[in-house]
Amino acid sequence: MSTKGLTGSLKTMSLPDLLQWAGSGRKTGTLSLKSGPLHKKIYFQHGAIIGSSSNDTREYLGQFMLSEGIITEQQLKDAFDLQAQTKVMLGRILVKKGLVSEGKVGEILRLKAEETIYSLFLWTESDFAFLENELPPGDQVLISIKVEDVLMEGLRRYDTSKKIRQALPHNGVVLKKTAKPLPPDIASKVFPKRIHDLVDGRRTLADIILEAHASEYNVCQVLYVLVQKGYLEVGKGAALAAARAPADTPQALMEAAKELIKSGDSEGALVILEKARRTAGKNPEMNALIQVAEEHFIDKAYRHYLPPKKIPVLKKPLESLMSQDLSPEEGFLVSRVNGSWDLRSIISISPLREVDALRAFKKLRERGIIDLVEAQARSA
């Protein structure tokens, strides 16, 4: 039976201090951290880290498989379809279909667990709670890492991330290839080669991150190295939109959002809450309200204007959409509209959160870029 132990925020106790506390105290239990909609956990046994979990879409097994080039989006979509019928775990389905070995699945699951832990070193705001004696679920793949090893790599990533942001200051940056060819030691590696291939002088950093199905840090770290070595250069990039401070206080905006939720306009509430969150700082009430608004929006979207089994089709040629000023999220989704995948399938292989993908699809439909048709109507 678990009991709540140490609680607080990263403002008052840093992640390195937390890890050292758990390691030196030979703690057994779960360190739970929440930041906005994201919830991550680190599992300890006798002071050693034995696993982690995350609700961040980009840290799901399927996204790791895509980022490593192990499977294709079509293969992941087919695996999800089979999973919906059989309820078998994704890794086992991929092994049974002969797409990957059991050993490789275990390797990726361990990598996934480690990446979730390292990503926390880049969090600046989070509430945490340590649940004494709470261990991971029985189906969790266990790892074994010493706290000191995690600290060394995590702090290295933190220092590197500051250098990266000096070279790539925002996600609207556009990169382009130089005349310098990739050497064999880089070209032979799947992930760096893929990231280099995604650079075309038009895609923004945000576009590349989505296309790569990988974490922002891992993509930016590769791009940073390629820029430093002269294989890529930073173009003029997209203008970074200036953040406008909301005219009202966060509390007033929250009250307005509550009224919108009551009236059924959950999307309008989300727009207001996103503005409020920029100035509110840590606010548990706001985070709870955002969660309610997101749940209402998802439910309404599927029931009324984005039925999950309908198939999106382009109303305009893909080439003509280059001038439509699509957001990175809209651009990613549009490029997956192939006339045969339904909405739920596209969302399932996307690195986007479900609510963000649905909001982007709604905008695409409202702008007349896509339409939705019945599956049988499309195949007729």
Residue 132 and residue 255 share a domain: no
Asked whether residue 46 is domain-assigned, the answer is yes
Asked whether residue 327 is domain-assigned, the answer is yes
**Domain final residue pick, 234, 260, 289:** 234
State whether residue 57 is helix, strand or coil: helix
Residue 187 and residue 128 share a domain: no
- Dig out the tokens for 279 from the structure: 């100035």
| Mean pLDDT, rounded, for 172-187 | 94
Residue 156 and residue 16 share a domain: yes
Residue 141 and residue 26 share a domain: yes
Asked whether residue 224 is domain-assigned, the answer is yes
Alpha carbon distance 330, 346 (integer Å): 12
**Domain final residue pick, 160, 184, 199:** 160
- Dig out the tokens for 320 from the structure: 């003509």
Residue 224 and residue 282 share a domain: no
Residue 151 and residue 34 share a domain: yes
Residue 333 and residue 220 share a domain: no
Residue 68 and residue 191 share a domain: no
Residue 258 and residue 200 share a domain: no
Number of domains composing the chain: 4
Q: Among 118, 116, 117, 126, which Cα is nearest to 35's?
A: 126
Confidence tier at 325 by pLDDT (50, 70, 90): confident
Confidence tier at 36 by pLDDT (50, 70, 90): confident
Residue 58 and residue 36 share a domain: yes
Asked whether residue 62 is domain-assigned, the answer is yes
Residue 154 and residue 14 share a domain: yes
Asked whether residue 83 is domain-assigned, the answer is yes
pLDDT (0 to 100) of residue 140: 78
Asked if 198 and 328 touch (Cβ cutoff 8 Å), the reply is: no
Asked if 283 and 250 touch (Cβ cutoff 8 Å), the reply is: yes
More confident call, 241 vs 258: 258
Q: Could you read off the pLDDT of 68-112 as tens digits, one per residue?
A: 999 999 999 999 999 999 999 999 999 999 999 999 999 999 999
Asked whether residue 240 is domain-assigned, the answer is no
Confidence tier at 155 by pLDDT (50, 70, 90): very high
Asked whether residue 44 is domain-assigned, the answer is yes
pLDDT (0 to 100) of residue 143: 87
Asked whether residue 244 is domain-assigned, the answer is no
- Dig out the tokens for 109 from the structure: 């699951």
Residue 71 and residue 30 share a domain: yes
Judged against a pLDDT cut of 60, whether residue 255 lies above it is answered with: yes
Confidence tier at 377 by pLDDT (50, 70, 90): low
C-alpha distance from residue 287 to each of 14, 33, 266, 277 (Å)? 21, 14, 14, 9
C-alpha distance from residue 333 to each of 58, 139, 147, 211, 366 (Å)? 15, 32, 39, 10, 15
- Could you list the residue range(s) of the whole structural domain that residue 344 is in? 311-379
Average pLDDT taken over every residue of the chain: 90
pLDDT (0 to 100) of residue 242: 36
Instruction: Quote the pTM value.
Output: 0.82
